[in-house]
Each structure stands twice: as C-alpha cells, then as structure tokens.
Amino acid sequence: MRFALIAGVLFSGCASGLLAENPTPNLTVTLLIQSAEDIAPATLAVMGSEVSQIFEPYGIGVSLFRYRSGASTPVMERAIVVKFCGDCGPASRGVGDLAHSGATLAFTHSVDGQLLPFIEVLCDRVKAVLMERRFGEAQPPMFWMGRALARVVAHEMYHVLANTKRHTEHGLMRSNLSARELTGGSLTIDRQAGEKLTSTLFSRDKSVGATVTAGF
C-alpha cells in the first residue's frame, strides 16, 4: 500500500544535487512546530535528528522550535511553520479505516501557485501507514512515529526550499511513499533533486533568505 504527499493546495483546515563537500550549515532552517501537545518529546527528538540528517549533506541545518500562541520567537535565518493535525501519539492506538491507497499524509500551502512556508501534517494518516507494518521490539512506537513524521516533513520541506511542486522517480521526493519507505532504512533526496535544491538556495545571484523575527 502506498501513500501520497502533495504540494500546493488551498488554505483550509487540517484536511520535501551535488552533495556539499563541507557539512557545516550554509543555511539554518527553523521548523516552528504548532499543535504538537500530544507529540512525545522522544518522538520530536527522533524527528528532528532524522530531518537534520537528510538535509545536512546539502549545507542545510535544521532546528525545531515549539511555537505557542503569545510566546516570543527567536531570530531565525529561515522559518517554516509545521502544523500537526490529529492524533500524533504513538502508532499503537487504533486508526480506524484511514489507511487506504493514495491517502494524503501532508501538504504545503500555496496561493496563486506560489508555495508558502506553511506545512500541515495529518498525523492520523501517518499512523495508518505505520499500522501497515509489523515492527520488532528493538525500538519503541515513538521511534517509528518520529521517523515517519520526519520523512513526511522533510518531503514537504523540500518543496518549500527548492520552490517546486515536482516529484522524482526515486528517493524521498517520490510522489507516493510506501510504509516501508517511511520507516525503513535510510531514505535520501536523489541527485537530481539535490542539485535543484542547492542551486535554488545557494546560487551566487541569490541571497540566502531573509531574517524573520516574529509573526507566526
């Protein structure tokens, strides 16, 4: 069974090159985490670590900031809002009949065809993916949820950072990712997609993003 990730839908409710020789971040992206009260700290830790590993070869550092209404935000080089919808707890809980082929796991908002730094993740559907696999006891359920969330978020992050809605035939940026791909061994951005990412962010005639101080 395979599940879809899409970029470019309307704002409405809760309804991803050449490897950099120097891994030191040329750009740090802060993920502003919203509605994450039921995400266990361990799950967030796994998610943050995995997302960082995916983007590190391209000179992109990733940090997480748990945003709460009314709270001040730090100065950020580049920010992407990630809103988690539904039940983001461990996948051991029941998920009903949400697991079906082609189910959307996450999406990136857009206006007039322009991608915005605003991602929504549908946790119930991500959990449904995990229910399609049997896991050993080597890692707790929170680990598998963290890994799956990381790959879903990283897929949508790529759309935002590379400013493209296109998908690839291989790797993280496939339009449909299986349960095994979301939770198995290493899943990376393929070479062509990586080249697009680095050329968009680090071409000599472009600045590397504006400073954001607040407003989310």
Residue 86 lies in a domain: yes
Write out the residue range of the structural domain in which residue 89 sits. 2-202
Residue 215 lies in a domain: no
Per mean pLDDT, which range of 89-93, 150-154, 193-197 is the poorest? 89-93
Residue 216 lies in a domain: no
In this structure, the strands spanning 104-111 and 2-9 are parallel
What pLDDT score does 11 carry?
32
Per the listing, tokens 């960082």 go with: 52
pLDDT, tens digit (0-9, with 9 covering 90-100), for 114-123: 899 999 999 9
pLDDT, tens digit (0-9, with 9 covering 90-100), for 124-140: 888 888 876 666 666 88
Residue 212 lies in a domain: no
What pLDDT score does 214 carry?
27
Residue 95 lies in a domain: yes
The pTM (predicted TM-score) of the whole model is: 0.81
Residue 210 lies in a domain: no
Number of domains the chain contains: 1
| CATH number, domain with residue 9 | 3.40.390.10
Residue 127 lies in a domain: yes
Residue 213 lies in a domain: no
Q: 118: buried, middle or exposed (CB in 10 Å: 19+, 13-18, 0-12)?
A: buried
Share of residues in the chain with pLDDT > 70 (%) = 72
